Amino acid sequence: MKKVPFVTNEQLKSILEKYPTPFHLYDEKGIRENAKAMYDAFSWNKGFREYFAVKAEPNPFVIEIMQKEGCGFDCSSLTELMLAKAMGGRGDDIMFSSNDTPAEDFKLADELGAIINLDDITHIDFLEKTLGHLPKKICCRYNPGGVFRMSNGIMDNPGDAKYGMTTPQIFEAYKILKAKGVEEFGIHAFLASNTVTNEYYPMLAKQLFELAVKLKEETGAHITFINLSGGVGIPYRPDQEPNDIHLIGAGVKKVYEKVLVPAGMDDISIFTELGRFMTGPYGGLVTKTIHEKHTHKEYIGVDACAVNLMRPAMYGAYHHITVMGKEDAPCDHVYDVTGSLCENNDKFAVDRALPKIDMGDILFIHDTGAHGFAMGYNYNGRLKSAEILLKEDGTAKLIRRAETPKDYFATFDCFPIYDKIFE
């Protein structure tokens, strides 16, 4: 399958007249259509809600699009809660799922009335001491341990993950919480990352639905929602088949009707907390080629680096690259596409077959709409890029300016060195 940028070469030329590279570009139309498809796929569940993972793309302009499509906020830190608050998020609009949580984070989550998802049984006492009370509605994160396998060979290792409670712990936690006056309960789990298969959510749902029935039987807890969390991935490689969210929704419905309905638990709401699936394919990193190097390998140097997109350097992750204007040219050259950091892993592609690249060519690096800009950092004093929204009407809107040296040095503004830097 050929990967095609959501922006044409002509559109990009127009954007480049106003905004210099590098920058992340987002597709409003694609994001909206995907959110609508998500809600349509789970429309059979009366209480369904998608809580967009703020960590994936913490930009208020992108999050506002998700809000308008009915999504809530999945927050995991104080600053993400602050952003949700500023955007009007309150109460059940917010799921607060964190781990090793500082007290001030719990305090703000409670102040906002967010649904708090406890990562560990010891957090019950910590939360109660921090707040002086426990919320009437609370969620517990579950980790069954072991290895999570799917029929197509995709697997993950929950037993090696730091998140969630064991099976005995979650039963004990429910009993403790119920004895302390908690009235509504939720279950949350994340057992596999970036799955490109339609069976992950239904398999996870079956496990959690069966757990819910046992928890109700053994503790008498009133379970009102089950959060399937994230894990539904995207096809970063062109030969991967994308997930079909309607098939996924139908698979979860089938398990719901098989497990929960006979148990008299057909009032349970289904929640999801997707980030990558919701916005990942609808973002791209736009960068210009500025150097070429012919040594032991053929290198193309661009004006972006791992500061702008960390995944290839951190994980060796694949991101497809389109050379704009050469979409149909033969891929008869092999390059490493590199950034400027003083680290040898600062490469967007290694031994990648691409068309012949000339200096000044514009590269579109695909699938950066989640965990792209958000994972940026400032190593080597490199600055984070701008973010631009390609609106539905085809116009471009700046939604985050690029960092400047003043931003980089801002935390020295209480010392004499700050003024000397800018003399």
Helix (H, G, I), strand (E, B) or coil at 399: strand
3-state secondary structure 168-192: HHHHHHHHHHHHCCCCEEEEECCCC
Strand partners, 25: 284, 388
Among 144, 141, 123, smallest CA distance to 187 is for 141
Greatest Cα-to-Cα distance within the chain, rounded to the nearest angstrom:
74
Record the tokens describing residue 240, joined without a space. Answer: 């991967």
Contact 322, 366 (CB under 8 A): yes
Contact 79, 60 (CB under 8 A): no
In 228-304, where do the E strands start and end?
269-272, 283-294, 298-302
**What is the 3-state composition of the chain as percent helix, strand, coil, each rounded to the nearest 5?**
35, 25, 45
Pairwise CA distance, residues 242 & 226, whole Å: 25
Pairwise CA distance, residues 172 & 215, whole Å: 10
Place of tokens 């030969």: 239
Pairwise CA distance, residues 387 & 284, whole Å: 10
Pairwise CA distance, residues 408 & 256, whole Å: 50
CA distance readout (Å), 116 to 120, 185, 268 = 12, 10, 18
Record the tokens describing residue 248, joined without a space. Answer: 């996924």
Element (H, E) at 406: helix 405-408
Active site residues: 342
